[in-house]
Amino acid sequence: MVAEANKSRAAPIYAAASFRSREAVGALVALTRKALIEEFGRELAPLGLNAAQALVIARAWRSPRAARRRAPRSPRCRSTC
């Protein structure tokens, strides 16, 4: 199926003459991400935090729990682990 798709000549996604980078998918995703972070920052302002600080706190809070789930103890490990 993939080989058949590679053989066909698909139309280009963007035409060089009419390409507008601000309307490309990557730019629209970046604008959406920026809007979400700005809203998150506005909601955190009463707590005295900004979005970057809150993301670091959330990551630090999640990290130890995730590490315990990913690293089960070895059957050979007794009380020293």
- Per-residue confidence of the chain (81 residues) as pLDDT tens digits? 555 655 666 666 777 777 787 778 888 999 999 999 999 999 999 999 999 999 898 888 877 655 555 555 666 655 555
- In a domain? residue 28: yes
Give the pLDDT score at 76.
63
- In a domain? residue 40: yes
pTM (predicted TM-score): 0.51
Residue found by looking up tokens 């959406």 in the block? 32
Q: 23: domain range?
A: 14-63
Q: Is 81 helix (H, G, I), strand (E, B) or coil?
A: coil
- In a domain? residue 1: no
Q: Which of 69, 67, 32, 38 is nearest to 54 (CA)?
A: 38
- In a domain? residue 19: yes
Residue found by looking up tokens 């302002």 in the block? 45
Q: Is 52 helix (H, G, I), strand (E, B) or coil?
A: helix
**What's the total number of domains in the chain?**
1
Give the pLDDT score at 70.
54
- In a domain? residue 29: yes
